[in-house]
Structure 1
Amino acid sequence: MKPLLSLAARSAWNRRFALSLVVVSIALSSFLLMGIERIRQDVRDNFSQAVSGTDLIVGARTGPVQLLLYSVFRIGNATNNIRWSSAQALAQHRAVAWTVPLSLGDSHRGFAVLGTTGDYFRHFRHGDKQPLRFAHGKPFEGLYDVVLGADVAARLGYRLGQPVVLAHGDGALQANDHADKPFSVVGILAPTGTPVDRTLHVSLQAIEALHVDWIAGARLPGVAVSAEAAAQRDLTPRSITALLLGLKNRAAVFSLQREVAGFRDEPLLAILPGVALDELWEVVALGERGLQAMSALVALVSVGGLVAVILAGLNERRRELAILRAVGAGPRQVLWLLALEGALVTLAGVALGVAACWLAVAGAGGWVQGHFGLTLQAAPPGATEWRLIGALLAGGWLASLLPGWRAYRLSLADGLSPRL
């Protein structure tokens, strides 16, 4: 087998210019397959690690996926808020250990602004129940203090003590700026690879202070309340967007979920983050399968190109194969020669594609995180990726059996006296 392998390698090298195109084609298909699988896994990991240690998320009655998206991932908007009195009632429930209120709706240069309390920095967990850490500064204490996520600080170049002006809504209109109430950066969080990195954090009282001269999403005409005057007012929140709950005993999660569903004061919904995330994957599963099918078709075309190149060159190699038969090579050895040649070409293409994918992830990981908030891991291939690599190698080897079988059927006389 070793001499046959050496002969197959030399034969492929002798036709390297033609086969190099096949290698590049297989490498591109491998790159596409591995890249899609890596992005798919990292997207799932990023979503699953966005929040942990939270037993329930409570919001206005809507769809579970929608509540998860706007409360955790800052995607979309809430259909309605929940009353502050309802949040306080849930916080005093005998089964609840802690609560973290969330108030959304404002922004700053495309980044979401989150109003919350100091409990957010004590109880919020991400990844494998990892707490939030400060790279610089401290949590907000003053009314107009703001804590930045890592991506916000990095992309906008903000430092401690720098003034920040928030905007109402998405900030598309300059008239919606809260320029009369500037904030000061007091803290910058360490990177988490979650939506926290792309969020500005202020107190709930700050959210109220920003809107004392606003009503129904519009500034009151002829009314202007200064930052100092707003600080003297009663800034108790009237409503919040959502509420994170941590329970004393997780066994009570389903009973409390039913109680929230039957809440008398207003219609509320409580979701388990993990269950809602599974529903989200069911929604996007069709798109995932479509991408995988498209990359599989590209791989199939590449393997078909390998078969076409070897078959196209087979007619020119009939005298070469006949000489091998004449010096003692059997039909099976001829078959194995072409099969090994195809396997080597496939192996070279797959290795090149996997290496290119790893380098692309390692090189573009920072850019992707900065622009799309997605953390890509330049990690060794996992179980699924190894199965894809094995499938590509097996497919290339099996495809090369077709020209091998064709060579097997060539007779010695036909090789020595080819027809013109």
Structure 2
Amino acid sequence: MAILSLAFKSLLNRKLTFFITLFSIAISVTLLLGVQTLKTETNNSFLKSISGTDLIVGSRGASSQLLLSTVFHIGNTPNTIEYKTYKKLSEAPAVDWAVPISLGDSHKGYTVMGTDLSFYDHFSYANKQKLRVQSGSIDEDIFAIVIGSEVAKKLNYKIGDRVIVTHGGGEIEGHHHDNIPFYISAILAPSFTAIDQTLIVSLEAMAAMHTDNHDHFGALPGETILPSDHDGHAAHESHEDHDHEEHVAHESHEDHDHDDHAAHEAHDDHDHTAHSAHQDTQDQRVARLLKVKPEKINAVFIGLTSPQAILGMQSYINNFKEEPLSAIIPSIALQELWEFFSLAEVALNIVTVFVVLVGLLGMLSIILMSLNERRREMAILRSVGARPGHIFGLIIGEAGFVCLSGILLGVALLYILLAILQAPLAAHFGFYLDINMLTSYDLGILAIIQLSALVIALIPGWLIYKYSLSDGMSIKF
């Protein structure tokens, strides 16, 4: 303890070099632990993107492509499967539930996914957490659209807003499904998955948007199809003219009410179906009557009655006779896909190791540069009874104290940065950074750094030990 006390007092006499060394080690430790934390949280977030789904079924092809397109909404699934195949798979004895997934459209760069209401009952993420509604409600109306939290935030959408879907990824400028407008019925709470950046529509609406009847779904008996303008209003002009008197009467009634505008908005928020039906285009009215399902879909999420049935059901689907299918186990596919990033992970580890090494070498260089100036100090210590071993221990103690202080400061800086960055990362990038205690692996790394500092300090310690044996009260140059 006397050596440590003496080492601390000696460091206080050299505050500038002490703090330079301290902060270089602290920054190195912060960077090392920060990279490890980001790597771990990214891996956890990646693996938690889907939970509780036993199989994902799609057209035969690469499992990574099926996983990326259906779970992360990255890339396309050019091949489709028959809707009747989904119905047959859902009736298999081992299948507890099956949810159809249809992709291919977008809205202002965000993915539009077609499915049915069972999606909200069965889809889960991060240890079987269900999707939650932040505002509005899930509406059974086929032209109600549910949007993710990021979509609502970035596009400043609210309940009741009108949405026009674009064909494909929007590569063809102006190719919008404006004959089939949607209204927002619900905004989902953040899940920190791809769902946050997704708009969810019904399969019937998806089928209505992709008819081949010159952008029209059809006509009811006795009706004539009118050409629609870009906003999709011309197609229902006759409907609006027919209801003109009713609309005027409705407005006069609202004028009579107190705060008429607020009352009208409240009515819209609580009765989306009536609001949507009043604005229906001709194609929408036909689609409501027919409620046609799409002939083809992109994938099926399947939950089985028992985990023991997974391999058997996967084999049955992979050998399906009616059309070529591929069934992947999400947890295994996610782990295999993460292994593709192993090279980047190794590169990050190498960089962080070199950063810490640079910090330790900086400490060594500062100690070595100060040795010649400290030979008088060591000679005085020898004159008052300090042995060469005490001088050696003093240098080792200083290095150990500086490194330990740098590690503690580095850990403190790490948690401060995590606390500061947690909210912005979640808000702007949809990445939730969980703040946890240091793992045993992290503590092991810190122990290695501390041990390395003591080993590196052996060099200046040995040199000052030799000087202390030969030096007297005078300084030799």
**TM-score, normalised by the number of residues in structure 1:** 0.93
Question: Could you report, residue by residue, the CA deviation over 1:216-238 in whole angstroms, capped at 9, with x for unpaired residues?
Answer: 9xxxxx98695432441442111
Gaps of 5+ in 2: 216-225, 236-280
Counterpart in the other structure of 1:85: 84
Identical aligned pairs, as a percentage? 38
Question: 1:59 touches 1:243 (CA, 8 Å); kept in 2?
Answer: yes
Alignment of 1:232 with 2:286, yes or no, is yes
Structure 2: how far apart are the matches of 1:320 and 1:214? Answer: 95
Change (3 A) 1:68 1:415: farther
Change (3 A) 1:273 1:214: farther
Report the CA distance between 1:28 and its aligned residue. 2.0
Question: 1:318 touches 1:415 (CA, 8 Å); kept in 2?
Answer: no
Counterpart in the other structure of 1:260: 317
Structure 1: how far apart are the matches of 2:214 and 2:410? Answer: 57
Question: 1:143 touches 1:231 (CA, 8 Å); kept in 2?
Answer: no
SS of the aligned residue for 1:416 comes to coil
Question: Could you report, residue by residue, the CA deviation over 1:66-109 in whole angstroms, capped at 9, with x for unpaired residues?
Answer: 21111111122113111111111111111101001111122222
Question: 1:321 touches 1:415 (CA, 8 Å); kept in 2?
Answer: no
Question: 2:391 touches 2:468 (CA, 8 Å); kept in 1?
Answer: no
Aligned 1:387-402 pairs, distance under 5 A:
387-402=444-459
Question: Could you report, residue by residue, the CA deviation over 1:264-292 in whole angstroms, capped at 9, with x for unpaired residues?
Answer: 12211101111111211221111111111
Gaps of 5+ in 1: 217-221
Aligned 1:9-20 pairs, distance under 5 A:
9-20=8-19
SS of the aligned residue for 1:36 comes to helix
RMSD, matched Cα: 2.1
Q: Greater CA deviation, 240-249 or 130-139?
A: 130-139
Question: 1:362 touches 1:377 (CA, 8 Å); kept in 2?
Answer: no
Q: Greater CA deviation, 311-320 or 12-21?
A: 12-21
Question: 1:62 touches 1:79 (CA, 8 Å); kept in 2?
Answer: no
Counterpart in the other structure of 2:57: 58
Question: 2:378 touches 2:468 (CA, 8 Å); kept in 1?
Answer: no
SS of the aligned residue for 2:174 comes to helix
Question: 1:145 touches 1:186 (CA, 8 Å); kept in 2?
Answer: yes
Bigger radius of gyration? 2
Question: Could you report, residue by residue, the CA deviation over 1:158-206 in whole angstroms, capped at 9, with x for unpaired residues?
Answer: 2211222222222354413333432211111122222222211111112
Alignment of 1:298 with 2:297, yes or no, is no
Change (3 A) 1:215 1:307: farther
Task: Give the paired residue count.
Answer: 414
Report the CA distance between 1:383 and its aligned residue. 2.4
Structure 2: how far apart are the matches of 1:398 and 1:215? Answer: 78
Change (3 A) 1:274 1:415: farther
**TM-score, normalised by the number of residues in structure 2:** 0.82
SS of the aligned residue for 1:410 comes to helix
Counterpart pick for 2:378 among 295, 305, 321: 321
Report the CA distance between 1:311 and its aligned residue. 0.8
SS of the aligned residue for 1:308 comes to helix
Structure 1: how far apart are the matches of 2:358 and 2:311? Answer: 51
Counterpart in the other structure of 2:424: 367
Question: 1:162 touches 1:185 (CA, 8 Å); kept in 2?
Answer: yes
